[in-house]
């Protein structure tokens, strides 16, 4: 049995990860400030009794060290973050405070308590900037120029991970995630177009597409992402690995698929494109297949149907 500490543990991806690790027989400590995470996401995790512990805490808090000292995690899954590109554009200092200083607090706690590995949720959709070739490979990282403070904050943490490995012996794997979607994603937040579109359509409302809708994204299902995290606990040391599908899907194409699933008729509304948004994005995942033995297995339409069914039932 391994003790894992999961930051962002009550969030969309983090809660699914807690469930997966508990199901594998591990002990899990969840940490989340509940700014976007929800206690309701932990209903399954809480059925594991003493094997799961949750703390309502900001990753920047001084009290984080005492939590590490008390529970002595062997592996940290660091998903806690300010995750909205728009928020980072409006308030870069807040973004850096949470995503850079908060991560440094996590790494310092890890250093002082003997954590052997940190698995970090990077952002494949922002840290590379506007890619020159698609699908983008991890080799693009060295010359990457993110176009949002969120992308910058996600990129700089990887340099810190290298530093903590070199000077303190903490192993790490950074998973550059594509656009993750699935059950439990917040349909009322700023991030997560699939959840937002689905909720609007189920309510009989026409969602707004920002820009012309021809911008593309790589949509990867949450269960596939969680599988990558679970594998990375023991594999992929010292690597940045893309976790996506290598497939570009336009926002217009996504709208049509969701409209067909939800039964919404009519054309979308269009609004002004948001600052900091990329034009195109898709991730080459060959390296993850080699380093982790990981591949995506959920087809987009299947994942969309499962997501819509979840939102319909909430």
* Tens place of pLDDT per residue across the chain (314 aa): 999 999 999 999 999 999 999 999 999 999 999 999 999 999 999 999 999 999 999 999 999 999 999 999 999 999 999 999 999 999 999 999 999 999 999 999 999 999 999 999 999 999 999 888 999 999 999 999 999 999 999 999 999 999 999 999 999 999 999 999 999 998 876 668 999 999 999 999 999 999 999 999 999 999 999 999 999 999 999 999 999 999 999 999 999 999 999 999 989 999 998 887 889 999 999 999 999 999 999 999 999 999 999 999 87
Give the pLDDT confidence score for residue 190 in this predicted structure: 62
Whole-angstrom distance, CA of residue 151 vs CA of residue 95:
10
Selecting among 48, 120, 128, 150, the annotated active-site residue is: 150
Report the run of H or E that residue 289 belongs to, with start and end: helix 286-292
E-strand spans in the chain?
3-7, 27-32, 52-56, 75-78, 117-123, 171-177, 179-181, 208-210, 216-217, 219-221, 239-243, 249-250, 269-271
Give the pLDDT confidence score for residue 191 in this predicted structure: 66
Tally the C-alpha atoms within 13 A of residue 92's C-alpha that lie toward its C-beta: 8
Q: Which domains does the chain have, with CATH numbers?
A: 3-181+219-245+283-297 (3.40.50.720)
Instruction: Name every residue whose Cβ is closer than 8 Å to that of residue 310 and which is 6 or more positions away in sequence.
Output: 182, 183, 184
Of the chain, the percentage scoring pLDDT greater than 90 comes to 93
How many C-beta atoms surround the C-beta of residue 91 within 10 A?
14
Whole-angstrom distance, CA of residue 185 vs CA of residue 30:
18
164 is catalytic: no
């Amino acid at each position: 049995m391994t003790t894992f500490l999961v930051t962002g543990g009550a969030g969309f991806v983090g809660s699914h990860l807690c469930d997966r690790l508990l199901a594998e027989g591990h002990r899990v400590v969840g940490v989340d400030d509940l700014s976007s995470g929800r206690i309701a996401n932990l209903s399954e995790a809480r059925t594991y009794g003493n094997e799961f512990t949750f703390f309502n805490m900001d990753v920047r808090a001084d009290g984080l060290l005492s939590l590490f000292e008390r529970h002595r995690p062997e592996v940290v899954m660091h998903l806690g973050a300010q995750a909205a590109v728009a928020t980072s554009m409006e308030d870069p200092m807040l973004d850096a405070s949470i995503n850079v200083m908060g991560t440094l607090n996590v790494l310092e706690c890890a250093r002082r308590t003997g954590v052997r590995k940190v698995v970090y949720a990077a952002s494949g959709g922002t840290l590379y900037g506007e890619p020159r070739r698609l699908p983008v490979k991890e080799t693009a990282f060295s010359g990457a120029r993110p176009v949002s403070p969120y992308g910058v904050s996600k990129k700089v943490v990887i340099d810190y991970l290298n530093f903590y490995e070199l000077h303190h012996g903490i192993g790490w794997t950074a998973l550059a995630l594509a656009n993750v979607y699935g059950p439990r994603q917040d349909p009322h937040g700023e991030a997560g177009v699939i959840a937002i579109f689905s909720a609007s359509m189920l309510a009989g409302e026409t969602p707004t597409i920002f820009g012309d809708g021809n911008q593309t994204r790589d949509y990867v299902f949450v269960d596939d992402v969680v599988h990558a995290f679970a594998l990375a606990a023991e594999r992929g040391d010292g690597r940045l690995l893309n976790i996506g599908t290598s497939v570009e899907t336009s926002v217009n194409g996504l709208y049509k698929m969701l409209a067909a699933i939800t039964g919404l008729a009519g054309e979308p509304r269009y609004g002004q494109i948001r600052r900091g948004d990329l034009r195109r994005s898709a991730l080459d995942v060959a390296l993850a297949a080699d380093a982790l033995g990981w591949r995506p297995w959920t087809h987009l339409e299947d994942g969309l149907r499962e997501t819509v069914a979840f939102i319909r039932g909430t």
